[in-house]
C-alpha cells in the first residue's frame, strides 16, 4: 500500500510539473466583437467582449478559435502575469474549422512573445489517453484539470454544417476567468483547443491535433486556402425498400447522393445525383456514412475529405451507379460559397435602399436572427431557398430579397412588403446587389421602375423621381449610405 501511494504521489507531481510548464506558454486574449445588424445592414450592433486563453506556438504565433476573432475590431493579448499587453492581428482564420492564428502587430509585442516558451503540436492521441486542460486564475496561478479522451467524433463547433474531427474528453473543470476557449496539452505539447464544456455531463469538445496541424501547415506560406470539400449532399441507405430500389447488396453500405453542388469537385469528377457513394480511398462506408478509422473507431465520412487531405489532392471514390460499381477520381477543391453563404463573418453585408425599400442578399446569418426557433419562425419562402438552393440558382450569384419597406411617398401601398424575392428590375434579371444597383440606374422612359417579385402582386411599380427624392431625405435624416455593393 505504501509503495502504491508513493508511486501515485510521484505520478501526480510529474503531471503537475509538466502542466505548470505548459501554462507558461499561454496568454490571455480579449476581443471586442461587433457584428452588423441583420435587419439594418448599414448599422452595427452594440459591441461586446470575449476573453479566453490562447497557446503561444514555437514560431511565436498564437493559436485560438475563430469564434474569438469573428467580427472583431480589436484583439489584444496579455501575459498571464498582467505585465504586458500586446495588440494582435489575424494571420489566418478558418471559421468552418473554428481556428485562428494571430501575431503581435508591434515590435515590442513581438519581443514579448519571443520570450515566452512556445508549444509544439502533439501527435494524435488514443482513446483513454490523459490530457491537461489549462486554465489561469485571475491572480495568474495555473489551474490544471486532468481529463481522459473518451471518444472522437466529426462534429460542428462553430459554423453549423461544417464538421471536423473532435476529441470528447471527460473532465471535471472548475470555473475560472478567461475560459471562453482554452488550450489543452498532452505530455507538455499542445494537443487541441477546447470549444465547449458541459458541466452537467462533464464532457468537453476539443479540436483534434490533425485538424490543427493541417490548418497550421496551410497557413505557413501566408496564403491560406482552407479545407477542401467534395461538394455533395447525401442521405442514408438504411431503409430496406430504398436499398432494393438502388440495387444495393445486403453486404454493401453507402450514401445516396441527393445533390451535386455547382462548380464543385464532385461535379468536375463526374459524380451524379442518384449515385451511391460506397467508399473513399478504399475505405468502405456503412449505411449511415461511417467508416472504420484506425485508433478512433467509427468516424463520419467527411473526415476522409476535410482533415485528411489538402486542397488539390486527388482521392478515389467508389460508387454504385445503376447497380454497377465504378471508381472515380476527384481532385479536391474549396467549394464555391454558393447562393446562400453559410456565414458572413468579417464581411460587410451588401444592400440597397431605394425609395424606402430595403434590399439585401439572403444569408443564413439573416435567418438565424429570427431567434432560437428560426427554422420555424423565419419566412417560409426564404427557408425554402435555404433548403433547396438548386431551385433558385439559375441566373443568380446571390438571392436578393426585400427585407423591409420604410413608409415613404414612394412605397405607398407597399408598406407591408417584406421577405419577397426579387427576380427582375426594369426587365433586368437580378443576380446580386451590384446588378440590382445597375438595374435601378437605368431609368425607364416612363419614369417608373418595374420590379418583378416571387409573390403577389408579382409586379410592383416605384416612381423614379419620387424614390430619388426619398433617397435624399433618408440621407438627410441620418442614413449613412444608400447602398453597399462590395463585400
My answer on whether 46 and 103 are in the same domain is yes
- Calpha distance 309→330 (Å, rounded): 12
In a domain, 137, yes or no: no
Residue ending a domain, among 114, 138, 168, is 114
My answer on whether 89 and 47 are in the same domain is yes
Domain residue limits at 410: 351-484
pLDDT above 50 (res 10): no
pLDDT above 90 (res 177): no
My answer on whether 23 and 68 are in the same domain is yes
Closest to 269 measured CA to CA, from 335, 215, 211: 335
194-217 average pLDDT score: 94
In a domain, 104, yes or no: yes
So what's the pLDDT on residue 4?
A: 34
Sign of CA dihedral 313, 317, 321, 325: positive
Q: Quick one: cell of 118?
A: 512556445
So what's the pLDDT on residue 8?
A: 35
The answer, as to whether pTM is greater than 0.85, is: yes
In a domain, 317, yes or no: yes
My answer on whether 362 and 460 are in the same domain is yes
Q: 249 CB contacts (<8 Å, ≥6 apart)?
A: none
**451, 424 Cβ separation under 8 angstroms:** yes
pLDDT above 70 (res 377): yes
What 3-state DSSP class applies to 454?
coil
- The CATH number of whichever domain residue 378 belongs to comes to 3.20.190.20
- Calpha distance 24→56 (Å, rounded): 9
So what's the pLDDT on residue 438?
A: 96
My answer on whether 455 and 372 are in the same domain is yes
Q: Quick one: cell of 248?
A: 444495393
In a domain, 205, yes or no: no
> What whole-number percentage of the chain has pLDDT above 70?
95
Q: What is the dihedral of CA 55, 56, 61, 63, to 10 degrees?
A: -10
- The CATH number of whichever domain residue 15 belongs to comes to 2.40.10.120
Q: Angle at CA 203, nearest 5°, toward 198 and 207?
A: 105
Q: Quick one: cell of 479?
A: 442614413
In a domain, 449, yes or no: yes
pLDDT above 50 (res 7): no
- Indicate the number of domains in the chain: 3
**261, 115 Cβ separation under 8 angstroms:** no
Q: Quick one: cell of 169?
A: 474528453
Classify residue 353 as left (phi > 0), alpha (psi -120 to 50) or beta: beta
Span 107-128, pLDDT tens digits: 999 999 999 999 999 999 999 9
Q: Quick one: cell of 211?
A: 485538424
* Confidence bin at 15 (pLDDT 50/70/90): very low
Span 25-84, pLDDT tens digits: 999 999 999 999 988 999 999 999 999 999 999 999 999 999 999 999 999 999 998 899
In a domain, 186, yes or no: no
My answer on whether 379 and 318 are in the same domain is no
**152, 208 Cβ separation under 8 angstroms:** yes
Amino acid at each position: 500500500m505504501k509503495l502504491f501511494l508513493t508511486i501515485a504521489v510521484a505520478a501526480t507531481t510529474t503531471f503537475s510539473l509538466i502542466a505548470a510548464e505548459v501554462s507558461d506558454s499561454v496568454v490571455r486574449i480579449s476581443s471586442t466583437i461587433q457584428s452588423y445588424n441583420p435587419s439594418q445592414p448599414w448599422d452595427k450592433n452594440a459591441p461586446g467582449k470575449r476573453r479566453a486563453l490562447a497557446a503561444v506556438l514555437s514560431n511565436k504565433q498564437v493559436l485560438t478559435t475563430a469564434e474569438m476573432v469573428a467580427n472583431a475590431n480589436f484583439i489584444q493579448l496579455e501575459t498571464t502575469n498582467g505585465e504586458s499587453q500586446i495588440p494582435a492581428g489575424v494571420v489566418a482564420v478558418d471559421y468552418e474549422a473554428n481556428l485562428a492564428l494571430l501575431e503581435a502587430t508591434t515590435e515590442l509585442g513581438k519581443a514579448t512573445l519571443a520570450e515566452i516558451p512556445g508549444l509544439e503540436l502533439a501527435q494524435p492521441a488514443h482513446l483513454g489517453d490523459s490530457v491537461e486542460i489549462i486554465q489561469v486564475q485571475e491572480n495568474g496561478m495555473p489551474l490544471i484539470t486532468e481529463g481522459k479522451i473518451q471518444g472522437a467524433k466529426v462534429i460542428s463547433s462553430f459554423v453549423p454544417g461544417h464538421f471536423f474531427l473532435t476529441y470528447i474528453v471527460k473532465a471535471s473543470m472548475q470555473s475560472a476567468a478567461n475560459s471562453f476557449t482554452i488550450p489543452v496539452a498532452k505530455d507538455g505539447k499542445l494537443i487541441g483547443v477546447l470549444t465547449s464544456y458541459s458541466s452537467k455531463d462533464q464532457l468537453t469538445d476539443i479540436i483534434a491535433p490533425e485538424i490543427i496541424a493541417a490548418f497550421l501547415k496551410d497557413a505557413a506560406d501566408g496564403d491560406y486556402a482552407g479545407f477542401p470539400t467534395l461538394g455533395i449532399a447525401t442521405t442514408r441507405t438504411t431503409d430496406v425498400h430504398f436499398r432494393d430500389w438502388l440495387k444495393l447488396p445486403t453486404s454493401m453500405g453507402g450514401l445516396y447522393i441527393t445533390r451535386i453542388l455547382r462548380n464543385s469537385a464532385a461535379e468536375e469528377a463526374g459524380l451524379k445525383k442518384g449515385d451511391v457513394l460506397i467508399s473513399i480511398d478504399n475505405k468502405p462506408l456503412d449505411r449511415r456514412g461511417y467508416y472504420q478509422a484506425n485508433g478512433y473507431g467509427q468516424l463520419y465520412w467527411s473526415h476522409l475529405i476535410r482533415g485528411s487531405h489538402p486542397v488539390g489532392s486527388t482521392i478515389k471514390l467508389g460508387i454504385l451507379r445503376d447497380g454497377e460499381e465504378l471508381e472515380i477520381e476527384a481532385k479536391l477543391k474549396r467549394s464555391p460559397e454558393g447562393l446562400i453563404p453559410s456565414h458572413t463573418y468579417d464581411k460587410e453585408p451588401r444592400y440597397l435602399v431605394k425609395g424606402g425599400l430595403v434590399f439585401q442578399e439572403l444569408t443564413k446569418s439573416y435567418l438565424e436572427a429570427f431567434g432560437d426557433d428560426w427554422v420555424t419562425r423565419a419566412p417560409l419562402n426564404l427557408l425554402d431557398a435555404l433548403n433547396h438552393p438548386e431551385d433558385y440558382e439559375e441566373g443568380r450569384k446571390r438571392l436578393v430579397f426585400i427585407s423591409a419597406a420604410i413608409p415613404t411617398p414612394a412605397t405607398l401601398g407597399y408598406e407591408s412588403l417584406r421577405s419577397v424575392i426579387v427576380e427582375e428590375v426594369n426587365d433586368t434579371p437580378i443576380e446580386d446587389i451590384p446588378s440590382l444597383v445597375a438595374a435601378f440606374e437605368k431609368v425607364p422612359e416612363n419614369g417608373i421602375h418595374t420590379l418583378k417579385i416571387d409573390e403577389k402582386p408579382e409586379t410592383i411599380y416605384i416612381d423614379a423621381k419620387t424614390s430619388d427624392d426619398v433617397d435624399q431625405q433618408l440621407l438627410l435624416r441620418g442614413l449613412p449610405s444608400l447602398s453597399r455593393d462590395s463585400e
